[in-house]
Structure 1
Amino acid sequence: MRKIIMLTMALSLTATAVSCKKGASKIGNTVLNLGGEAEANAIIDFNNNFIDSYKNSSKHIERILKYADEAVVKSKGGNVLIMPVVISSTDYTLAKIKEVPSGFEKDKSAIETEFNTYKAKRENIDKKFDELKSYMTSEDYKDDKGAKAETLRKEIEGEANAFFAAGENIMIKIKPATDAAEEVVLKDHPMKEYIISSKNVMNSLDSVIDVLGKQYTGQFNETEAQKKYDELAKQAEANAKKEFNVKDQQYAYKKSQFESFNKNTSNFLDTYRKLIRDSKEAGKIPDNDIQQIDSSYESVLSAYNSFVK
Structure 2
Amino acid sequence: MKKTITSTLCCILLLLAVISCTNNKKDNNTQNESSASAETGSADKASRIIEYTNLVVDMANSHNSYLKNILSNTEQIEKGLRNPKNLFAFTGVITPHLIQAGLRNMNGVTIEKPVDELGKENQAYFKTQITQYNTIFEKLQNNYKQLDDYLKAQDYKDDNGTKGYLMIDTIRNTVQKLYTGKLVLMKKVNEVADAAEIVVLKDSPLKDYIIAMKTDMKTFRNFIDLLADNGSNYAKIKDKAQAGYRELENSQTKNAALNIENAKKANKDGQYKRFYESFHDLLLRTKKTLRDAGTSGKLTKTDIDDLDRDYDGLIRNYNYFNQ
User: In which range does the TM-score fall when normalised by the shorter chain?
Assistant: 0.7 to 0.9
Kindly provide the amino acid, as one letter, of the partner of residue 120 in structure 1. T
Secondary structure in structure 1 of the residue aligned to 2:73: helix
- Structure 1 pair 247–201 and aligned structure 2 pair: CA distance change class (3 A): closer
Do the aligned partners of 1:52 and 1:93 also contact (CA within 8 Å) in 2?
A: yes
Secondary structure in structure 2 of the residue aligned to 1:235: helix
1:13 aligns with 2:27: no
- 1:152-301 correspondence runs (5 A): 152-216=167-231, 221-246=237-262, 249=265, 251=266, 253-301=267-315
- Structure 1 pair 131–210 and aligned structure 2 pair: CA distance change class (3 A): same
Do the aligned partners of 1:71 and 1:83 also contact (CA within 8 Å) in 2?
A: no
Tell me how far 1:261 sits from its aligned partner.
Answer: 1.8
Kindly provide the amino acid, as one letter, of the partner of residue 241 in structure 1. A
Partner Cα separation in structure 2 for residue 67 and residue 212 of structure 1: 24
1:75-97 per-residue CA deviation (whole Å, 9 max, x = no partner) reads: 44433151512156474534731
Which stretch shows the higher mean deviation, 182-191 or 162-171?
182-191
Tell me how far 1:265 sits from its aligned partner.
Answer: 1.8
Tell me how far 1:107 sits from its aligned partner.
Answer: 6.6
1:59 aligns with 2:65: yes
Partner Cα separation in structure 2 for residue 107 and residue 228 of structure 1: 39
Tell me how far 1:295 sits from its aligned partner.
Answer: 3.8
Partner Cα separation in structure 2 for residue 243 and residue 280 of structure 1: 37
Tell me how far 1:158 sits from its aligned partner.
Answer: 0.6
The structure with higher relative contact order (CA 8 Å, sep 6+) is 1
Q: Could you say which structure has the larger radius of gyration? A: 2
What percentage of residue pairs aligned between the two structures are identical? 23
| TM-score, length basis structure 1 | 0.81
Which of 303, 306, 309 is matched with 2:320 structurally? 306
| TM-score, length basis structure 2 | 0.78
Which of 12, 18, 31 is matched with 1:22 structurally? 18
Secondary structure in structure 1 of the residue aligned to 2:261: coil
Partner of 1:132: 147
Q: Which runs of 5+ in 1 are unaligned?
A: none
Which stretch shows the higher mean deviation, 265-274 or 111-120?
111-120
Partner Cα separation in structure 2 for residue 272 and residue 198 of structure 1: 18
1:112-151 per-residue CA deviation (whole Å, 9 max, x = no partner) reads: 5543432222111111112222222222222211110011
Q: Which runs of 5+ in 2 are unaligned?
A: 24-35, 105-109
